[in-house]
Amino acid sequence: MSGEGDEPQAIRKLAPGKLVIASHNAGKVREIRDLLGPYGIEPISAADLDLPEPEETGTTFVANAELKALQAADLSGLPALADDSGLCVDALNGDPGIFSARWAGETRDFGLAMSLVNDRLDALEPETGRDAHFVCALALAWPDGHVEWFEGRVDGTLVWPPRGENGFGYDAMFLPDGGGETFGEMDPQAKHAISHRADAFRQMVAAVL
Protein backbone atom coordinates (compact mmCIF):
# COMPACT_ATOMS: atom_id res chain seq x y z
CA MET A 1 0.00 0.00 0.00
CA SER A 2 1.49 3.31 -0.98
CA GLY A 3 2.05 5.95 1.65
CA GLU A 4 2.04 8.85 -0.81
CA GLY A 5 -1.19 10.81 -1.09
CA ASP A 6 -4.71 9.56 -1.56
CA GLU A 7 -4.54 8.51 -5.20
CA PRO A 8 -3.79 4.83 -5.96
CA GLN A 9 -0.27 4.43 -7.25
CA ALA A 10 1.74 1.58 -8.67
CA ILE A 11 3.62 -0.42 -6.07
CA ARG A 12 7.34 0.28 -6.21
CA LYS A 13 9.50 -2.83 -6.50
CA LEU A 14 12.50 -3.45 -4.23
CA ALA A 15 15.70 -4.34 -6.09
CA PRO A 16 18.15 -6.92 -4.69
CA GLY A 17 20.90 -5.39 -2.60
CA LYS A 18 21.34 -3.62 0.71
CA LEU A 19 18.33 -2.84 2.87
CA VAL A 20 18.50 -1.07 6.22
CA ILE A 21 16.45 -2.72 8.96
CA ALA A 22 15.37 0.29 11.00
CA SER A 23 15.47 -1.40 14.39
CA HIS A 24 17.81 -1.77 17.35
CA ASN A 25 15.88 -4.81 18.60
CA ALA A 26 18.20 -7.77 17.99
CA GLY A 27 15.40 -10.34 18.12
CA LYS A 28 13.31 -8.44 15.61
CA VAL A 29 16.28 -7.92 13.28
CA ARG A 30 17.06 -11.64 13.45
CA GLU A 31 13.50 -12.57 12.46
CA ILE A 32 13.50 -10.10 9.58
CA ARG A 33 16.87 -11.41 8.33
CA ASP A 34 15.43 -14.93 8.31
CA LEU A 35 12.33 -13.84 6.42
CA LEU A 36 14.31 -11.86 3.81
CA GLY A 37 17.01 -14.49 3.33
CA PRO A 38 15.63 -16.14 0.18
CA TYR A 39 15.15 -12.91 -1.81
CA GLY A 40 18.65 -11.63 -2.53
CA ILE A 41 18.33 -8.83 0.03
CA GLU A 42 21.33 -7.88 2.20
CA PRO A 43 19.89 -6.67 5.52
CA ILE A 44 21.91 -4.14 7.56
CA SER A 45 20.59 -3.13 10.96
CA ALA A 46 20.26 0.48 12.04
CA ALA A 47 22.50 -0.38 14.98
CA ASP A 48 25.27 -1.53 12.60
CA LEU A 49 25.12 1.90 10.93
CA ASP A 50 24.91 3.79 14.25
CA LEU A 51 21.62 5.33 13.21
CA PRO A 52 19.63 6.98 16.00
CA GLU A 53 16.29 5.64 17.16
CA PRO A 54 13.57 8.21 16.45
CA GLU A 55 10.93 9.04 19.01
CA GLU A 56 7.83 7.03 18.15
CA THR A 57 5.25 9.81 18.10
CA GLY A 58 2.72 8.11 15.84
CA THR A 59 -0.70 7.04 17.10
CA THR A 60 -0.86 3.85 15.02
CA PHE A 61 1.50 0.98 14.21
CA VAL A 62 1.67 2.14 10.57
CA ALA A 63 2.54 5.73 11.50
CA ASN A 64 5.37 4.63 13.79
CA ALA A 65 6.73 2.20 11.20
CA GLU A 66 6.69 4.93 8.55
CA LEU A 67 8.56 7.49 10.61
CA LYS A 68 11.28 4.95 11.52
CA ALA A 69 11.68 3.78 7.91
CA LEU A 70 11.75 7.31 6.48
CA GLN A 71 14.43 8.46 8.91
CA ALA A 72 16.63 5.42 8.27
CA ALA A 73 16.30 5.80 4.48
CA ASP A 74 17.07 9.52 4.65
CA LEU A 75 20.14 9.10 6.87
CA SER A 76 21.57 6.03 5.11
CA GLY A 77 20.73 6.83 1.50
CA LEU A 78 19.45 3.25 1.16
CA PRO A 79 15.98 1.69 1.14
CA ALA A 80 14.90 0.99 4.70
CA LEU A 81 12.38 -1.34 6.28
CA ALA A 82 10.81 -0.66 9.64
CA ASP A 83 8.52 -2.80 11.72
CA ASP A 84 6.21 -1.52 14.42
CA SER A 85 4.44 -4.28 16.25
CA GLY A 86 2.76 -5.00 19.52
CA LEU A 87 0.35 -6.99 21.61
CA CYS A 88 -3.28 -5.87 21.77
CA VAL A 89 -5.38 -7.34 24.59
CA ASP A 90 -9.13 -7.16 24.07
CA ALA A 91 -10.05 -6.83 27.75
CA LEU A 92 -7.51 -4.02 28.19
CA ASN A 93 -9.06 -1.96 25.39
CA GLY A 94 -6.23 -2.86 23.04
CA ASP A 95 -3.38 -2.13 25.46
CA PRO A 96 -0.43 -2.29 25.50
CA GLY A 97 -0.77 -1.82 21.72
CA ILE A 98 1.64 0.74 20.28
CA PHE A 99 3.14 1.09 23.76
CA SER A 100 4.12 -2.61 23.98
CA ALA A 101 7.86 -1.88 24.18
CA ARG A 102 7.36 0.95 26.66
CA TRP A 103 5.59 -1.38 29.09
CA ALA A 104 8.94 -3.19 29.31
CA GLY A 105 10.65 -0.02 30.59
CA GLU A 106 14.00 1.46 29.64
CA THR A 107 15.74 -1.88 30.27
CA ARG A 108 13.35 -3.70 27.90
CA ASP A 109 12.37 -6.17 30.64
CA PHE A 110 9.60 -8.13 28.95
CA GLY A 111 9.26 -10.39 31.97
CA LEU A 112 8.06 -7.26 33.75
CA ALA A 113 5.85 -6.29 30.81
CA MET A 114 4.17 -9.70 30.73
CA SER A 115 3.59 -9.50 34.49
CA LEU A 116 1.95 -6.09 34.06
CA VAL A 117 -0.41 -7.48 31.44
CA ASN A 118 -1.29 -10.45 33.62
CA ASP A 119 -1.76 -8.30 36.75
CA ARG A 120 -4.15 -5.98 34.92
CA LEU A 121 -6.17 -8.92 33.66
CA ASP A 122 -6.25 -10.46 37.14
CA ALA A 123 -7.66 -7.18 38.48
CA LEU A 124 -10.71 -7.51 36.23
CA GLU A 125 -13.76 -9.74 36.67
CA PRO A 126 -12.92 -13.46 37.05
CA GLU A 127 -14.75 -14.33 33.84
CA THR A 128 -12.84 -11.76 31.79
CA GLY A 129 -11.53 -13.28 28.58
CA ARG A 130 -7.87 -13.37 27.63
CA ASP A 131 -8.26 -12.93 23.89
CA ALA A 132 -5.43 -10.99 22.29
CA HIS A 133 -3.74 -10.42 18.96
CA PHE A 134 -0.37 -9.33 17.69
CA VAL A 135 -0.19 -6.65 14.99
CA CYS A 136 2.80 -5.97 12.75
CA ALA A 137 3.02 -2.95 10.47
CA LEU A 138 5.87 -2.91 7.94
CA ALA A 139 6.92 0.29 6.21
CA LEU A 140 9.36 0.18 3.31
CA ALA A 141 10.83 3.60 2.51
CA TRP A 142 13.21 4.94 -0.11
CA PRO A 143 15.53 7.96 0.25
CA ASP A 144 13.23 10.02 -1.99
CA GLY A 145 10.42 9.69 0.55
CA HIS A 146 8.33 7.02 -1.20
CA VAL A 147 6.75 4.57 1.26
CA GLU A 148 4.90 1.28 0.92
CA TRP A 149 3.27 -0.25 3.99
CA PHE A 150 1.70 -3.57 4.95
CA GLU A 151 -0.07 -4.76 8.09
CA GLY A 152 -0.36 -8.31 9.45
CA ARG A 153 -2.19 -9.87 12.40
CA VAL A 154 -2.39 -13.13 14.34
CA ASP A 155 -5.07 -13.93 16.92
CA GLY A 156 -4.72 -15.95 20.09
CA THR A 157 -5.13 -16.05 23.87
CA LEU A 158 -2.83 -15.24 26.76
CA VAL A 159 -1.52 -17.88 29.17
CA TRP A 160 0.08 -17.59 32.61
CA PRO A 161 2.75 -18.35 33.61
CA PRO A 162 4.79 -17.68 30.46
CA ARG A 163 5.99 -20.75 28.58
CA GLY A 164 9.12 -21.18 26.49
CA GLU A 165 12.48 -19.49 25.95
CA ASN A 166 12.26 -18.85 22.19
CA GLY A 167 11.14 -15.66 20.51
CA PHE A 168 11.16 -12.31 22.29
CA GLY A 169 8.80 -9.72 23.73
CA TYR A 170 5.46 -11.16 24.80
CA ASP A 171 5.90 -14.41 22.86
CA ALA A 172 6.03 -16.68 25.92
CA MET A 173 2.51 -15.73 27.03
CA PHE A 174 0.84 -15.78 23.59
CA LEU A 175 -0.90 -18.95 22.43
CA PRO A 176 -2.00 -18.63 18.79
CA ASP A 177 -5.49 -19.80 17.91
CA GLY A 178 -5.51 -23.49 17.03
CA GLY A 179 -2.04 -24.10 18.45
CA GLY A 180 -0.77 -26.03 21.44
CA GLU A 181 2.48 -24.11 21.93
CA THR A 182 3.10 -20.47 22.76
CA PHE A 183 5.26 -18.42 20.41
CA GLY A 184 7.94 -18.80 23.10
CA GLU A 185 7.80 -22.60 22.82
CA MET A 186 7.68 -22.81 19.05
CA ASP A 187 10.60 -23.52 16.79
CA PRO A 188 11.40 -20.20 15.05
CA GLN A 189 10.49 -21.58 11.63
CA ALA A 190 7.09 -22.71 12.92
CA LYS A 191 6.47 -19.23 14.31
CA HIS A 192 7.59 -17.62 11.05
CA ALA A 193 4.91 -19.61 9.23
CA ILE A 194 1.98 -18.09 11.16
CA SER A 195 3.08 -14.92 12.94
CA HIS A 196 1.80 -11.38 12.48
CA ARG A 197 5.21 -10.46 11.06
CA ALA A 198 5.03 -13.36 8.61
CA ASP A 199 1.56 -12.23 7.53
CA ALA A 200 2.82 -8.71 6.80
CA PHE A 201 5.92 -10.10 5.06
CA ARG A 202 3.83 -12.31 2.78
CA GLN A 203 1.95 -9.22 1.66
CA MET A 204 5.15 -7.27 1.14
CA VAL A 205 6.92 -10.05 -0.76
CA ALA A 206 3.93 -10.49 -3.07
CA ALA A 207 3.87 -6.76 -3.77
CA VAL A 208 7.46 -5.56 -4.01
CA LEU A 209 9.77 -8.55 -4.61
Residues marked active site are found at 84
Q: Which of 205, 103, 201, 207 is nearest to 153 (CA)?
A: 201
Spatial neighbors of 32 by CB under 8 A, at least 6 apart, are 21, 23, 43, 81, 83, 197
Q: How far apart are CA 146 and CA 166, in angstroms?
A: 35
The answer to whether residues 98 and 57 touch, using CB atoms and an 8 Å cutoff, is no
Spatial neighbors of 72 by CB under 8 A, at least 6 apart, are 20, 22, 46, 51, 80, 82, 141
- Give me the DSSP letters along 123-149: TS-TT---EEEEEEEEEEE-TTS-EEE
The answer to whether residues 151 and 168 touch, using CB atoms and an 8 Å cutoff, is no
